[in-house]
Amino acid sequence: MSSPELDVVEFLLTASLYTENRDLDERDLPPRYRRVFWEDGEVERPLTTTTNTAAAATGVERPWEAVSGLMFTDRDDFSGKIDFTDRDMAESWLLERISDERLANNPTLVYAFEDRLDDITYEQAREQNRPIHADRVWIDSLLEEMFDEDEEEMLDLVDIRAPEEIEMTLEDLVLTEDQEQEIHKVVKAIEHRDYLAEIGLREIGKLLFVGPPGTGKTSVARALAQDLDLPFVEVKLSMITSQYLGETAKNVDKTFEVAKRLSPCILFMDEFDFVAKTRSSDEHAAIKRAVNTLLKSIDEISLIQDDVLLIGATNHPDQLDAAAWRRFDEIVNFPKPDRDMRSDILRIVTRRMDVDDFDPDELADATEGLTGSDLRLVLREAVLDALTENRTTLTQQDMLEAIEDFEERDNLKNMDMIEGDADALVAGGTDGHDHDHDD
């Protein structure tokens, strides 16, 4: 059960209980409440429950209107503070209406009412509550502390996402058996970091994802961060050649410092073949120093000691040298999907769509050689074509025609019809596909 009045009462009661119980900390507040009260790197008591904070925390536009009819609520017209006139009555009212599942997501309430609950413990509620290091507000406050105005351009080197900002989960992806096994091992390593440190097994937790563009390397890394509630720090290694970044080696150091300060987190390093290309070329000495700094930093960072899971990704494993390969303890292959995987991908991507006579196996047979990213582009075109006919229901024929059109466009992109750079025909990429979001 959920309603505006229940949402507001839960918020008011949580704030009241948290304020008076000093044994509780930020991990005991649901993330939607922490976000509202987070300031200067912490949540300070008392938690003030005004109409503004209640609206921000619950999403109820007029929180006082939602609860003004209850016998145990009151509002100060001057300050806008909403409070209880009888908290015992508020507690009884809430416990009669809130579901066990919802209650289990609020450690503060479970802490206060554990003796009245049968199947929920405070430890369980706290454990399943999203940790503070996964919140956007915590990440932003830490970055503000680390960088002054003169150093803000260094943040252009990295893309930092909170788990709440990553929409895709591992359940939304189709993985090979090998990929599932490697991810399972990583999850177990994270769960048992203390044991691994105790037995001296520290060289673990550095993965290299290899495979063609569009096969899901970036998507899997991001989904892993979402599933594990870990901040996601992404850096494209070619960015260290950007002129405006100035001292490249210093910025590489700063990238690893950010990851260690945000730990536990995932540090995802895309375009890892750039390392090998730089080491074997006549690049500027400053860039080579940056790459050497990078390799040294990879050697020194550890999942066990620093709580940083390092994932490298490359579309060109043939360009990596031995120095690059040996930095990783696991290599995870991302091949183009086979027929069964393509069929599964199509089922997942279309699950919110209305499709008449949908036959994913037939579409899988017609899409040999396409990646997951290609299949999403095909479906996008089918949807847009249907919308031009004012239809929101697709047909199997729409899909088949979109596949045919995609293949025709792909062939055109590969034709050298004009002199000069053929890539001028391709918007936003050098391989003919818009893969950046799904590598």
Q: Are residues 171 and 233 in the same domain?
A: yes
Look at the chain and report how many structural domains it folds into.
3
Best CA proximity match to 76, nearest among 46, 56, 48: 48
- Alpha-carbon gap, residue 279 to 296, rounded angstroms: 14
Neighbours of 223 (CB within 10 A): 22
Q: What pLDDT score does 147 carry?
A: 77
Q: Are residues 229 and 312 in the same domain?
A: yes
Q: Are residues 263 and 153 in the same domain?
A: yes
Q: What pLDDT score does 432 carry?
A: 37
DSSP state of 277: H
Q: Are residues 230 and 175 in the same domain?
A: yes
* Residue where a domain stops, chosen among 333, 356, 372: 333
Q: Are residues 164 and 250 in the same domain?
A: yes
DSSP-assigned beta bridge partners for residue 327: none
Q: Are residues 323 and 381 in the same domain?
A: no
Q: Is 417 left (phi over 0), alpha (psi -120 to 50) or beta?
A: alpha
| 414 CB-near residues (< 8 Å, 6+ apart) | 432
Best CA proximity match to 122, nearest among 105, 143, 134: 105
Q: What pLDDT score does 315 carry?
A: 92
Q: Which domain, by its residues, includes 221?
A: 136-333
Neighbours of 201 (CB within 10 A): 12
Q: Which amino acid is at 287?
A: I
Say which CATH number the domain at 390 has: 1.10.8.60
Q: Are residues 226 and 297 in the same domain?
A: yes
How buried is residue 125: exposed, middle or buried, by Cβ count under 10 Å (0-12/13-18/19+)?
A: buried
Q: Are residues 272 and 405 in the same domain?
A: no
Bridge-based pairing of strands 330-333 and 206-210 is parallel
What tokens appear for 77 in the block? 């017209």
Q: Are residues 83 and 224 in the same domain?
A: no
* Alpha helical stretches, state H, 22-161: 31-37, 51-58, 63-67, 87-97, 100-103, 107-113, 122-128, 136-146
* Residue where a domain stops, chosen among 129, 157, 187: 129
* Residue where a domain stops, chosen among 312, 333, 354: 333
Q: Are residues 146 and 16 in the same domain?
A: no
Q: What pLDDT score does 290 carry?
A: 73
Q: What pLDDT score does 244 carry?
A: 46
- Alpha-carbon gap, residue 145 to 139, rounded angstroms: 10
**Sites in the chain below the pLDDT cut of 50:** 243-245, 417-437
Report yes or no: 203 and 307 within 8 Å, Cβ to Cβ. Answer: no
Say which CATH number the domain at 314 has: 3.40.50.300
Q: How far is CA 209 from CA 11, 150, 329, 334, 437, in A?
A: 43, 35, 11, 7, 15
Q: Are residues 108 and 163 in the same domain?
A: no
- DSSP codes, 342-379: HHHHHHHHTTTSEEET--HHHHHHTTTT--HHHHHHHH
Q: Are residues 319 and 207 in the same domain?
A: yes
